[in-house]
Structure 1
Amino acid sequence: MTTHIFDQLASIGVVPVIAVDDAKDALPLADALLEGGLPVAEITFRTDAAAETIATIAAERPDMLVGAGTVLSPDQVDEAVKAGAKFSLSPGIDADVLKHAKTKDMPFAPGIMTPSDLQLALKLDCSMVKFFPAMPAGGPKMLKAIAAPYAHTGVGFNPTGGVTLDNLSDWLSMPQVRAVGGTWIASKADISAGNWSHVTENARQAVARVAEIRESA
């Protein structure tokens, strides 16, 4: 299941990373992303509305691949599973959280920033990791240097934090990068204002840019 889910994320190439303050926005958000051709969302556990938002999208928009972000504890793994999340991620790495996620058959990509982090992730059988915070940590050049000695392991990366439409090609040109995390696609400002057309346009541009990058590779 883990490989299958992460293969789906890789086929899409970009995952909107979203904080939702009010679960009433769940379906308009999902519809805006779907209309833009982006059937995936990482709903972060940074707000009290996260679990309900995930549950609503999972139940009402089954075509949407919805995951949980900023999952920091075993209890939040349980919340994500109960809500119907298909995958989970975190900004850092915690062995207890990863072990618990494995017992729940929850595909989990922990955050890493150093080779030592990455080796811990590999020891815990992670097939994909989040490189976070991507730009402050050194950007594409840093990830390329970190990933090189581990290319033979097949581990994939999901850079998040400072990734934009303009630097998307710098990330996706690396074979180890399966998909990027995009916080720009559905901002809190657009969600609170109900500016769904802007979310749709951002999603459409991201999808088009991924296709363009991969066609020219």
Structure 2
Amino acid sequence: MTDTARPPLPERTAAARLIVVIRGRAADQYAPVLETLAGAGIRSVELTLSTPGTLEALPELLERFGDRMDIGIGTVTDPSDLATAVRQGAHYIVTPITRADLLEAAAEAGIAIVPGGLTPSELHAGWAAGAAAVKVFPASVVGPG
């Protein structure tokens, strides 16, 4: 894939240069948190699949908050979850791993993907395969320095 075919991050997310990650016990906890974040000027959030009900809640959350913030789906590790997130209207995809089939599926769907990696080789592989951005994951292993 060439850089010209690389689906970019949504405009608000790219401009903000910040994605707030939200996890909870259940997806019904998202709305009040999103309301608070939107009111505080946050323009991009990642809702994780580690929170039960995330994909099912996405359409309603996009309807309520999608005009104020980009909503991405994270902790995506399976192409079927990626496809469901795209169908439900996710603005972008985040994955904790660098996996070629996820990058290919995102490119085919025309959606930005941010894969995670820990080593320089993993991060480069994600970028070279067409990621909109890459993230160091888990960052706690290397620390903020």
Judge same fold: TM > 0.5, yes or no: yes
Q: Secondary structure at the match of 1:42?
A: strand
Q: What residue in structure 1 maps to residue 113 of structure 2?
A: 108
Q: What is the DSSP-based 3-state SS (H/G/I as helix, E as strand, rest coil) of the residue aligned with 1:48?
A: coil
- What residue number does 1:81 align with? 86
CA-atom RMSD, angstroms?
Answer: 1.9
Label 1:15 to 1:46 Cα distance change in 2 as closer, same or farther (>3 A): same
Which of 120, 123, 126 is the aligned partner of 2:128?
A: 123
2:108, 2:7 → 1: CA distance? 12
Unaligned runs of 5+ in 2: 1-5
Contact 1:87 1:106 in 2 (8 A): yes
Tell me the percent identity. 28
Q: Which whole-Å CA distance do the structure 2 matches of 1:45 and 1:140 have between them?
A: 25
The residue number in structure 2 matching 1:9 is 13
Partner deviation per Cα, 1:76-116 (whole Å, 9 max, x = no partner): 10121122110111111110111111111110010011121
Instruction: Name the TM-score, length of structure 2 as normaliser.
Output: 0.85
Structure 1 pair 111/4, CA: closer, same or farther in 2 (3 Å)? closer
Larger Rg: 1
Q: 1:127/1:27 Cα in 2 relative to 1: closer, same or farther (>3 Å)?
A: closer
On the 8 A contact 1:57/1:64 being kept in 2, the answer is no
The residue correspondences of 1:1-150 to structure 2 (distance < 5 A) are 2-5=7-10, 7-62=11-66, 63-136=68-141, 138-141=142-145
**Structure 1 counterpart of 2:20, one-letter code:** P
Name the structure where helix makes up a greater proportion of residues.
1
Aligned length: 139
In the TM superposition, what whole-angstrom CA distance separates every residue of 1:143-172 from its partner, at most 9, and x where no partner exists?
xxxxxxxxxxxxxxxxxxxxxxxxxxxxxx
Superposed, 1:127-206 pairs within 5 Å as 127-136=132-141, 138-141=142-145
Partners of 1:120 and 1:59 lie apart in 2 by 35
Closer/same/farther in 2, CA of residues 19 and 4 from structure 1, 3 Å limit: closer
- Judged with a 3 Å threshold, the aligned counterparts in structure 2 of structure 1 residues 4 and 135 are, in CA distance, closer, same or farther, namely closer
Q: Deviations over 1:7-57 (max 9, x none)?
A: 532322322111133333332222111111113210001122111232221
Q: Which runs of 4+ in 1 moved over 3 A?
A: none
For residues 160-214 of structure 1, what are the alpha-carbon distances to aligned partners after superposition, in whole Å with 9 as ceiling and x for unaligned?
A: xxxxxxxxxxxxxxxxxxxxxxxxxxxxxxxxxxxxxxxxxxxxxxxxxxxxxxx
- Letter paired with 1:106: I
| Alignment of structure 1 residues 198-217 onto 2, 5 Å | none
Go from structure 1 to structure 2 and tell me whether the alpha carbon gap of 1:52 and 1:139 turns closer, same or farther (over 3 Å shift). same
